[in-house]
Structure 1
C-alpha cells in the first residue's frame, strides 16, 4: 500500500511539474540568454576573492544587481550577507535559495587570465586568497537565477528569498559568521521560508551531471582541542617524568578504534583525524604538556553524539592510565550539523531535477565526509542540497584537481545548468504546493 502511495505521489509530482512547463520553457530560454553574463560575473568574483566576513566588494556587487532587478534588498546580514526578496504576482509559498560568498586562504596556480593575485593577512600570516571551492560560481549562478525569475515576476506563484551568505568556510576563533549567524539573525523569517534549495559545484563531477542523496549527504563536523599534561623531566631520566608525548601517542591510536569498533560502518561513515600535535622544545627534555587539534565527522546525529562520548572517555581514561591529565574541548571553535536532505522534499523534487538535467544525468551519490553549513538552514526548514558538475567532459575525476587546492579548476559551460536547476526547483515546488 505504501509503495502504491509513493508511486501515486511521484506521478502527482510529475503531473504538477508538467503543468509548470510554460514557465520551464521560459527558464530555459532566459538562462541560455544570460549564460555569458553569469560567466563574466564568476570571473570577476574569482579575480577579486574575499575571505569570510570580509566580502565587502562582493556583497556590494550582488546588492546592486538585485536592486537593479527590482528586488527588495537587505544588506549587512550576518556582517556582510545580502538577502533579496522577490514577491511573485500570485500567492504561494516562500522558497529560499542560497549561495555562499567567501574565498579561501589559498594561493592560486591556475593559468587563466582572471586568476587571483590577491594577498591578505590570515591568522597572522600573509596568504594568497582564492575561490578554491567554487563559491564564485555559486554567486554568479544565483545572480542569474534572480535575473531569470525577476523577469517572470507576474507569473510566479509565491515569494523567492535569495540568500547570499558570508563565511561558509568558517571564521577565525572568536568571530561569529556563516549560516548559523544568518539563522540567528532571522534570515528564514519575515517572510517565513517553507523550503530551501542550494547547490555546490564539484570539480570532479562531469559537466552536465547533477548528483544528490536523500538524508545525510554531508557530514556533521566538530573540531576539537586536546591538552595532555604530565610531569617534565630530563630526557635521560624518563622514569622521573609523566610523559605526555607517549600518552598523546596512545590517545591518537586509541581514537581510531571508534571507527573500527564502535561505528556501524554498514550504515554511515565516520572520521576522527588528529591534524596537529605540538609539544616540547628540544630532544633531551620531556615536556610537561602536549596539545593536539583534530576534526570529527559523522553522518547522523546519533553517531555524532556517540563519537563525542567515546572521544571524551578515551582521552581522559588513557591519560589517567598513564598518570597524566587531559582536557578536551569539543567543539573547540566550530560545529556544523549533518547536511540532511529532507526525505519527502528530495522525493518531490527528483522529477524536477530529472526534467532539467535529463534522467541519465541525475545521479545518486554516496555520502561525503566534507561538511557544509547549509545544514543550519536544514535544521529549521526542509532543505535540499545538490551537486553540480564542473569537471570538463572526458576528464578522469581522479586526476581533476580537488577543492581547496591551488589548482582547483571549473569548466564554466556547466553554470547555465545550475541557473536552470535552481529556477526550476523553485517554480516546480511552488506548482506542487498549489
Structure 2
C-alpha cells in the first residue's frame, strides 16, 4: 500500500493503537493508506458540478473492481452502486457528493489541484473517499449485514443541485430505499468530534434578485427624481424587520443583502439600482411567511416612492431535517467511534444549506458533521477558502461510523 507522503505512513498505526482516542477497528484502520490515496487523487483532479467525468469514471472503476452492481450516467455524471449482504433485508442508502468549486487553490502541497481555477475546497473529495472505503469494506464483509446498501455518488451539490435530478432518475427505487445517511467533513469542529441532531440541521437556501426602477437626474435637484439609492437603502433596512418583527424570536432566520449596485457619478441621482442576496431559515413553515413578507416590503417601499421593482425570488434547497430514529442510529454508532461523550456535539446547526435535504424529504435519514479540523497542523481554514484542507485521519473515522451504522441498521 503506497501512501502519498511519509507523514501519512503512521496514520493506520495511530488509528488502531490501544491508546488511540477513537475506536477504529484494525481492518478499517488498514484502509487509511488507500483512503488517503483516493482522496488525494480526487483532490488533484477536481471538477465542477455536472462535469465530474473523471471523478465518476474513477469511482465506477473502483466499485466495479470490488464486485458491486454499478450504474453510471445517473443525472449526467452520478454513480449508483449496490452491495448485497448474505441474506435479503432492508436497504440503507449512503450519499456522497463529488463536485468541486471554482476556486484557485493556494495550498502548497504535493496533491494540490492540477486544474486551474477549480478546487476541492469543501471536502467532497473526502466524502467520496469515505464512501469508497465503506463500499470496499462491505464488499469484503457481506456476512455482517442483511439486505443491501445503495451508494449514491451525487454530482453538483454546490450548484445547481444534483440531488433532485438523481431522485427523478429513480435512485431511491429498485430496490426501495428504507433510510439514507450522509456526512460532511466539518472544519468548524475539531478532529474526533461528530455533530448530529434530530430535526432541523441545516438551513433552507433561497436567493433573490431585485431591480429597482426610479427616475434619475441631477444631484442638486432631487425633487425632479425618484432616487433609487434612497429607495434601495430603505428596502435593505425594511427587509431586516421580517426576521426582527415577523419571525418568532425563538426561531432562527436570516435575510442577507449581498449586493447593492447603483449610480455612476457623484452628482448624478441614480435612476436604477440592483440588489441581490439570500434568505435562510430552519423551520419549513417559515417558507411562505418570509417570501410573502419579502414581496410586500419591496412592493410597499416602491409604491411609497412612485417607483417600480422587478423581483426574482427563488427557492433553491429546503432545510435539512433529520429523522429522530436515524439520528439516533448515527449518534449511538458515532459515540462508539469518538469514544467520549464530549465528542458528540448534540445541538450542532448551521445556516449553510445542502441539497441532501431533498433526499431527506423522500425517506427517513440523517446528515451529520464529522469534525476534521486540526489547528496544530494548520488544517483549520474554513470551507470554500483557497487554503482549505482537513486532517485525513477523519477518513477512516468516517468509514468506521458508516460501517457500524450499516451493521446496526441492517442486522
Considering the TM-score relative to the shorter chain, is it more than 0.5?
Answer: yes
- Deviation for aligned residue 1:344: 2.8
State how far apart, in whole Å, the 2-side matches of 1:200 and 1:358 are.
20
* Secondary structure in structure 2 of the residue aligned to 1:256: helix
1:286 aligns with 2:269: yes
1:299 aligns with 2:282: yes
Equivalent of residue 168 in structure 2, options 184, 197, 200 = 184
User: Comparing 60-69 with 276-285, which one deviates more in the overlay?
Assistant: 276-285
Equivalent of residue 204 in structure 2, options 192, 195, 220 = 220
1:329 maps to 312
Equivalent of residue 319 in structure 2, options 326, 334, 338 = 338
Equivalent of residue 354 in structure 1, options 312, 316, 335 = 335
- Deviation for aligned residue 1:394: 5.7
Q: Deviations over 1:363-390 (max 9, x none)?
A: 2133210001100000000110111111
Q: Where do 1:196-345 residues align within 5 Å?
A: 196-266=180-250, 268-331=251-314, 335-345=316-326
State how far apart, in whole Å, the 2-side matches of 1:27 and 1:66 are.
23
RMSD, aligned α-carbons: 1.8
2:88 maps to 91
State how far apart, in whole Å, the 2-side matches of 1:261 and 1:410 are.
40
User: Comparing 91-100 with 399-408, which one deviates more in the overlay?
Assistant: 399-408
- Deviation for aligned residue 1:304: 2.5
Equivalent of residue 51 in structure 1, options 25, 48, 53 = 48
Q: Deviations over 1:238-284 (max 9, x none)?
A: 21111122111100011111222222232x32111111122333333
**8 A Cα contact 2:320 2:357, kept in partner:** yes
Q: How many residues align?
A: 388
- Deviation for aligned residue 1:27: 8.3
User: Comparing 158-167 with 364-373, which one deviates more in the overlay?
Assistant: 364-373
- Deviation for aligned residue 1:393: 6.4
State how far apart, in whole Å, the 1-side matches of 2:244 and 2:376 are.
36
Could you list the runs of 5+ residues in structure 2 that have no partner in the other structure?
1-22
- Deviation for aligned residue 1:348: 4.2
State how far apart, in whole Å, the 2-side matches of 1:79 and 1:99 are.
16
* Secondary structure in structure 1 of the residue aligned to 2:89: strand
- Deviation for aligned residue 1:48: 1.1
- Deviation for aligned residue 1:285: 2.9
**8 A Cα contact 1:269 1:298, kept in partner:** yes
1:374 aligns with 2:363: no
1:136 maps to 125
Equivalent of residue 158 in structure 1, options 128, 147, 151 = 147
* Secondary structure in structure 2 of the residue aligned to 1:291: strand
